[in-house]
């Protein structure tokens, strides 16, 4: 009995020893790792599980909306959507940052869009550089100063000299050079659109223009001294243009009223905007060599819907600012407006 | 042959140890791993999504900030998880950009945006580009109030097509004051009745005791808003303020903020001694404050030019309670742009274009 007891005791002790040893080893292992034991209390756990539930719900929603959308929106695979190259000339003035900001907010909704911003400046400004970086868009930042005699002066009315000519031509030049360097040459899918920074664009217009074969056209609101200007479509073809100002122009369109396919831009390497053209003939100077009226593709429901507006932004009144600056008390120029 | 007593003895000895170990294991290890994995995923997916808007500090709540720091500290451990999750993150990120509007979150306070609008040729254009901006902002509720006798089909259709979360109201400002030409009874400033109607709607719809967090912002339809502005105003506790560009004849007007981070004055030229020398686009109010003070409205009549904002704010808050945003009121996140009236000379008297085409 005694030996059995002794044995029992020994076993017990051995058992205790083994268990304690295991526990100790385990504790030692844990010491080596980072331990946030102090921070894990119930509220945090609750918030974590709530956020996790949140996350799953959001993902569910996205998956659901993805399922109802067309299958062509696959951002990871090479997408069949043609790229829209938007060429925007811009110049420094008070409202420039505001205009480019709201323009970028519109473009951010459009997939496969490449924004080509051309500044009217001898060098790239930090304002536009920072804005483009922060925008999250695919972009190209160029600059091309306008010749002094072509540049508009302070008091000039907006129609006096053509604006943005050198900048748009620079955009075209870059695009041609960049696309030439790509494999596939002239067989690339894409559309080129000239978007001024003060106009207003609905999201539908970009989907309308995406499948342009040659040159597509559509109505533009608030331009030409009228509520809208538009091409008149009969039998699916453009027969004439409905405009109140000089309808005898070859293409009485606004810059925002047409888009050209990339292929056409690349094959016609010489086509560009003519700064010497008479007022209102800027668009015609470009389109004349590219296409004839019956080849135009009408969009926006046979040119019956207005999807882009030629809005213009007022010049902000700076009377008090100028008065202050005369006294040397102007607002902090380091604050970017 | 082991006796029952011995077995009992062994069990009694071993049991406390096993209990100790299992309890310790459960409480220490599992949450640790869970936190690591959860933080990593949550940081990548919930926090990365708003970063798409180029916002550096996304504050969901105080817990959220701590979690981010935690996760940041463990980032080097979780890097090996990153590679496989990268594809998922990319898809989520791009999908978020094209999903209009972003999915509703239960955590973010809702921003109620009150916009008065009226019919004019540029109305549809203004509302379109405003909608394009708002479609990027999560948890946004747009309250559009028309200055009209009844809701116009143009606005109704536009709101429906955007897919935004909206409320469409209308109230007509009586025009007879303008015609009367009575200098002693000036006309009601534009937009006042519409904003008041929206405030009344909010008070009727939301219960003061509900936990639904909300921020109220007055956004005119011709201004320009950066996306960062909405994230700045989301953390408003009472009333927050920031600079506005192109108002008061200056490059920008801004509140004066002292070293303690409190507003003590207004950097304006036009009447800086107003109680609140700020533009309508320069402040946001917490919904709870609006519900708590149900008598606070914009004053309709007898308000001097530039005092309209003060007529509401002085009933809600004092200068001391204002919270400066936008890096202590040093960054411009909203511009008071105005759109030119389009020249429509070629329409002539009878109208040249088809009136059925909506612009």
Q: What is the pLDDT of residues B90-140, one digit of tens each?
A: 445 455 456 578 888 888 999 999 999 999 999 999 999 999 999 999 999
Q: Which two tokens stand for residue A105?
A: 């907010």
Q: Kindly report the backbone phi and psi dihedral angles of residue A268, in degrees, each rounded to the nearest multiple of 5, phi listed first.
A: -100, 80
Q: Which residues, 6+ apart, have CB-to-CB distance to B212 below 8 Å?
A: B110, B206, B287
Over 60: is that where the pLDDT of B356 sits? yes
Over 70: is that where the pLDDT of A270 sits? yes
- Confidence tier at A67 by pLDDT (50, 70, 90): low
* Residue carrying structure tokens 């972009």: A139
Task: Report in angstroms the alpha-carbon separations of B54 from A25, A49, A116, B226.
Answer: 48, 27, 20, 11
Q: Indicate whether A251 belongs to any domain.
A: yes
CA-based nearest distance B189→chain A, Å: 20
Q: Indicate whether A42 belongs to any domain.
A: yes
Mean predicted confidence (pLDDT) in B43-71: 36
pLDDT tens by residue, A111-124: 999 999 999 999 99
Peptide bond before residue B101 is cis, with ω within 30 degrees of 0: yes
A97 lies in the same domain as A198: yes
- Strands of A308-309's sheet in order across: A200-201, A308-309, A220-221, A228-234, A237-242
Q: Does B248 touch chain A (CB under 8 A)?
A: yes
Q: Indicate whether A320 belongs to any domain.
A: no
pLDDT tens by residue, A161-179: 778 899 999 999 999 999 8
A40 lies in the same domain as A182: no
A111 lies in the same domain as A188: yes
Tell me which of A34, A67, A100 is where a domain ends. Answer: A67
Q: Rounded CA gap, B293 and B24, in Å?
A: 51
Q: Which two tokens stand for residue A206?
A: 């970009």
Is A283 assigned a catalytic role? yes
Give the single-character DSSP code of B43.
I
pLDDT tens by residue, B130-170: 999 999 999 999 999 999 999 999 999 999 999 999 999 99
More confident residue, B356 or A274: A274
A47 lies in the same domain as A172: no
A63 lies in the same domain as A87: no
pLDDT of residue B10: 77
pLDDT of residue A79: 54
Q: Does A76 touch chain B (CB under 8 A)?
A: yes
Task: Report in angstroms the alpha-carbon separations of B75 from A56, A190, A318, B46.
Answer: 22, 41, 50, 16
pLDDT of residue B125: 94
* Residue carrying structure tokens 């719809």: B205
ipTM > 0.90 for the complex: no
A23 lies in the same domain as A117: no
How many C-beta neighbours within 10 Å does residue A159 have? Answer: 10
Q: Which two tokens stand for residue A4?
A: 């059995």
Burial B255-281 (b: 16+ CB within 10 A, else e): bebeeeeebeebbbbeeeebebbbbbb
CB contact under 8 A, A95 and B91: no
- Structural domain harbouring A48: 9-67
- Host H or E run for residue A317: none
A13 lies in the same domain as A107: no
Q: Which residues, 6+ apart, have CB-to-CB distance to A49 below 8 Å?
A: none
Q: Indicate whether A295 belongs to any domain.
A: yes
A13 lies in the same domain as A91: no
A57 lies in the same domain as A87: no
SS3 A57: helix
SS3 B193: helix
Q: Does B235 touch chain A (CB under 8 A)?
A: no
Mean predicted confidence (pLDDT) in B7-25: 76
Q: Rounded CA gap, B116 and B37, in Å?
A: 46
Closest of A326, A287, A285 to residue A192, by C-alpha? A287
- Does this model's pTM top 0.80? My answer is no
CB contact under 8 A, A314 and B346: no
CA-based nearest distance B294→chain A, Å: 33
CB A200 within 8 A of CB B129: yes
CB B133 within 8 A of CB B223: no
Mean predicted confidence (pLDDT) in A223-233: 89
Q: How far is CA A125 from the centre of its chain?
A: 19
| CB nearest B346 (choices: A8, A23, A244) | A244
Closest of B264, B210, B242, B272 to residue B332, by C-alpha? B242
pLDDT of residue A83: 93
Q: Is residue A163 marked as binding?
A: yes
Q: Which two tokens stand for residue B36?
A: 């690591």
Q: Indicate whether A115 belongs to any domain.
A: yes
CB contact under 8 A, B67 and A48: yes
Mean predicted confidence (pLDDT) in A280-300: 91
More confident residue, B68 or A188: A188
Task: Report in angstroms the alpha-carbon separations of A236 from A142, A218, B160, B165.
Answer: 38, 13, 29, 37
A93 lies in the same domain as A165: yes
Q: Kindly report the backbone phi and psi dihedral angles of residue A157, in degrees, each rounded to the nearest multiple of 5, phi listed first.
A: -70, 160
A63 lies in the same domain as A16: yes
Closest of A227, A136, A314, A307 to residue B94, by C-alpha? A136
The domain total for chain A is 2
Q: Rounded CA gap, B241 and B275, in Å?
A: 14
How many C-beta neighbours within 10 Å does residue B306 have? Answer: 17
CB A22 within 8 A of CB B17: no
A165 lies in the same domain as A226: yes
Question: Could you give the angle at the alpha carbon of B160 between the alpha carbons of B156 and B162, nearest 5°?
Answer: 120
Chain A residue with CA closest to B105: the answer is A54
Q: Indicate whether A335 belongs to any domain.
A: no
Dmax over CA atoms of chain B, in Å, equals 116
> One of A166, A170, A208, A283 is an active-site residue; which one?
A283
Q: Indicate whether A74 belongs to any domain.
A: no
| CB nearest A76 (choices: B31, B91, B225) | B91
Q: Which residues, 6+ apart, have CB-to-CB distance to B48 below 8 Å?
A: B89, B92, B93
Q: Which two tokens stand for residue A308?
A: 């882009």
Q: Rounded CA gap, B67 and B58, in Å?
A: 12
Task: Report in angstroms the alpha-carbon separations of B274 from A288, B67, B220, B255, B308.
Answer: 59, 43, 21, 12, 10
- Confidence tier at B211 by pLDDT (50, 70, 90): confident
Q: Indicate whether A328 belongs to any domain.
A: no
CB contact under 8 A, B335 and A30: no
**What CATH number is attached to the domain comprising A138?**
3.90.550.10
CB B199 within 8 A of CB B290: yes
CB B255 within 8 A of CB B322: yes
């Amino acid at each position: 009995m005694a030996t059995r007891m002794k044995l029992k005791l020994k076993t017990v002790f051995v058992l205790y020893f083994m268990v304690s040893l295991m526990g100790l080893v385990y504790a030692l292992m844990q010491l080596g790792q980072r331990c946030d034991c102090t921070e894990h209390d119930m509220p945090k756990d609750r918030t974590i599980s709530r956020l996790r539930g949140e996350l799953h719900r959001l993902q569910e929603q996205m998956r659901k909306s993805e399922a109802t959308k067309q299958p062509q929106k696959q951002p990871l695979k090479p997408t069949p959507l043609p790229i829209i190259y938007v060429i925007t000339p811009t110049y420094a003035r008070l409202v420039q940052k505001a205009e480019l900001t709201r323009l970028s907010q519109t473009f951010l909704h459009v997939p496969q869009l490449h924004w080509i911003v051309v500044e009217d400046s001898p060098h790239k400004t930090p304002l536009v550089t920072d804005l483009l970086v922060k925008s999250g868009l695919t972009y190209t930042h160029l600059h091309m100063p306008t010749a002094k005699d072509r540049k508009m002066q302070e008091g000039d009315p907006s129609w006096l000299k053509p604006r943005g000519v050198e900048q748009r031509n620079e955009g075209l030049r870059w695009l041609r050079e960049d696309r030439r360097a790509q494999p596939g040459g002239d067989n690339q899918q894409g559309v080129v659109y000239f978007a001024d920074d003060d106009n207003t664009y609905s999201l539908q217009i970009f989907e309308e223009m995406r499948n342009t074969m040659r040159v597509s056209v559509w109505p533009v609101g608030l331009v030409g001294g009228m509520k809208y200007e538009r091409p008149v479509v009969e039998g699916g073809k453009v027969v004439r243009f409905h405009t109140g100002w000089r309808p005898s122009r070859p293409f009485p369109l606004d810059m925002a009223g047409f888009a050209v396919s990339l292929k056409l831009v690349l094959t016609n390497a010489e086509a560009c905007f003519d700064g010497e053209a008479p007022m209102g003939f800027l668009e015609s100077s470009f389109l004349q060599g590219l296409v004839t009226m019956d080849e135009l593709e009408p969009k926006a429901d046979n040119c019956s819907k207005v999807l882009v507006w030629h809005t213009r932004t007022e010049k902000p009144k700076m009377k008090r600012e100028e008065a202050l600056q005369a006294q040397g008390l102007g607002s902090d120029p380091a604050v970017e407006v | 042959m082991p006796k029952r007593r011995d077995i009992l003895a062994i069990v009694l000895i071993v049991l406390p140890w096993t209990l100790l170990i299992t309890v310790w294991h459960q409480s220490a290890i599992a949450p640790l791993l869970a936190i690591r994995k959860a933080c990593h995923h949550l940081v990548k997916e919930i926090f990365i999504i708003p970063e798409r808007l180029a916002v550096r500090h996304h504050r969901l709540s105080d817990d959220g900030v701590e979690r981010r720091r935690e996760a940041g500290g463990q980032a080097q451990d979780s890097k090996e998880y990153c590679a496989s999750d990268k594809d998922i993150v990319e898809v989520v990120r791009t999908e978020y950009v094209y999903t209009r509007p972003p999915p509703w979150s239960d955590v973010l306070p809702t921003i109620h945006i009150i916009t008065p609008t009226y019919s004019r040729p540029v109305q549809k254009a203004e509302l379109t580009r405003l909608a394009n901006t708002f479609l990027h902002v999560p948890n946004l509720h747009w309250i559009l109030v028309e200055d009209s006798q009844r809701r116009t089909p143009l606005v109704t259709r536009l709101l429906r097509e955007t897919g935004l979360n909206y409320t469409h109201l209308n109230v007509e400002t009586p025009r007879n004051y303008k015609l009367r030409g009575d200098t002693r009874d000036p006309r009601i400033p534009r937009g006042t009745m519409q904003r008041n109607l929206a405030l009344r709607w909010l008070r009727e719809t939301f219960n003061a005791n509900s936990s639904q967090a909300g921020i109220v912002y007055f956004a005119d339809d011709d201004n320009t808003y950066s996306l960062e502005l909405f994230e700045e105003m989301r953390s408003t506790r009472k009333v927050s303020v920031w600079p506005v560009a192109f108002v008061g004849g200056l490059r920008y007007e801004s509140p004066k903020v002292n070293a303690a981070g409190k507003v003590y004055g207004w950097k304006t030229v036009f009447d800086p001694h107003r109680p609140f020398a700020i533009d309508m686009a320069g402040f946001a109010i917490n919904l709870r404050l609006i519900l708590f003070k149900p008598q606070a409205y914009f004053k309709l009549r007898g308000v001097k030019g530039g005092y309209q904002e003060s007529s509401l704010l002085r009933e809600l808050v004092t200068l001391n309670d204002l919270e400066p945003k936008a890096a202590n009121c040093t960054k411009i996140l909203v511009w008071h742009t105005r759109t030119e009236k389009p020249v429509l000379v070629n329409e002539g008297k009878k109208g040249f274009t088809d009136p059925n085409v909506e612009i």
